[in-house]
Structure 1
Amino acid sequence: MNNEYLNQIIRERRSIFPSQYNNKPVSAEFIKNLLENANWAPTHRLTEPWRFKVVRGETKDRLGSFLSDTYTDITPNDKFSPFKVKKIKDKCDASNVIIAICMQRDPKERVPEWEEIAATAMAVQNMWLTCTANEVGCYWSSPVLIKYAGEFFEFEEGERCLGFLYIGNYNKDEVISSKRNSIEEKVEWHD
């Protein structure tokens, strides 16, 4: 791989939302490769804190119902939105695969928790770049509902959900743009 290609992939990485997905399936082989690439993220003391729960088929439908029902149960009447219930279900329905992004805390707590969260985020970045390189859409969402994920999934002691990675194919003809302020606004040079 040359530097220009790497630069291109990094700069073309975007959130592709479930509403943009089409019905073309994402292969199990691709998901396995995605997860293998995640496994090569940097990790202090080799704690490898990332954990993933791949949700497809009927389980994906059950997750959508669980999330929308949980939203309904925890939301006060004055803040309840039927639109939000529909949006939660639609995101799950439109996605071909949903991966619950989880972090397993090192039982010995050899590193600060933030380092394990950061390592998990770097694993997700590897997944995101893999999706970008293969023209597969993905979107990381961390709704308040993730704190209830333990009622749907079985977690190990010290494991928790950091969000959901929604994945699906999309129409590549759509122009997906993004903007960043200049890096010069964010850097101080100390020579």
Structure 2
Amino acid sequence: MSFPSEQVNKLIQSRRSTKPRYFNGEKIADEIVWQILENAGWAPTHGLTQPWRFKVFTDDGLEKLANFQADLYQKLTAEENFRLEKYNRLKTNILKSSHVVVICMERQKSEKIPRIEEIEAVACSVQNMALTATSYEICSFWGSGGVTYTQELKDFLNLGEKDLCLGYLYLGYSDNPATASRRDPIKNKVEWVDSVNSGQ
């Protein structure tokens, strides 16, 4: 099976992160979101553990998630550090999304596969989702700040003790999607070893 390599190259190099505050609130068809999730499930996974777990919030679910994270921010933040502007942003930005996929990792019960490899597998699944979204001209943003790594969020999501939340993938349309980006030349990041003396 062959694929047009130039189109694949263009898709990968066209992917951008557009922050949800730039979304316009337009709804993505659920069947497209299911296709995005389907492709997430084809990420590489050591031992076929398939550790990715996704909790999808949309419609009234977005308000539930927004209220939870804003209220948790207020609860966990000392009064002198509390910023009303951030609280309001946590309450409203998420509502501009069509769907928010909360990215979770379910830890293998036997723990045979190293934890880091399970995290890596989930990260690959997120890249699959972001690329699929790009192919549908849908914006995405993987956010992992704020309340992401708190025990309170794990409890809210009903995660197991050794499971992890790795952030949110915001999905939506935008009238002003991100288009510009840059990368350093890949040759600056690569050591090419092709003989016994290479790299010495």
TM over 0.5: yes
**Alignment size in residue pairs:** 190
Are the equivalent residues in 2 in contact too, given 1:107–1:158 (CA < 8 A)?
A: no
2:153 maps to a residue whose letter is A
Q: Confirm whether residue 179 of structure 1 aligns to residue 182 of structure 2.
A: yes
Give the distance between the partners of 2:184 and 2:164, measured in 1 at CA. Answer: 33
Provide the C-alpha distance between the structure 2 equivalents of 1:39 and 1:12, rounded to a whole number of angstroms: 22
Query: Identity over the aligned pairs, expressed in percent?
Result: 38
For residues 151-170 of structure 1, what are the structure 2 equivalents within 5 Å? 151-156=155-160, 158-170=162-174
| CA RMSD of superposed structures (Å) | 1.4
Q: Which runs of 5+ in 1 are unaligned?
A: none
Counterpart in the other structure of 1:57: 59
Does residue 8 of structure 1 match 2:10? yes
Give the corresponding residue for 1:77.
Answer: 79
SS at match of 1:45: helix
AA matched with 1:37: N
Q: Distance in 1 between matches of 2:62 and 2:26?
A: 16
Is the alpha carbon distance of 1:149 and 1:174 closer, same or farther for their aligned partners in structure 2, counting shifts above 3 Å? closer
Comparing 181-190 with 130-139, greater Cα deviation is found at 181-190
Bigger drift between 42-51 and 75-84 goes to 75-84
Task: Tell me which structure has the larger Cα radius of gyration.
Answer: 2
DSSP 3-state at the match of 1:145: coil
Structure 2-normalised TM-score?
0.90
SS in 1 for 2:147: helix
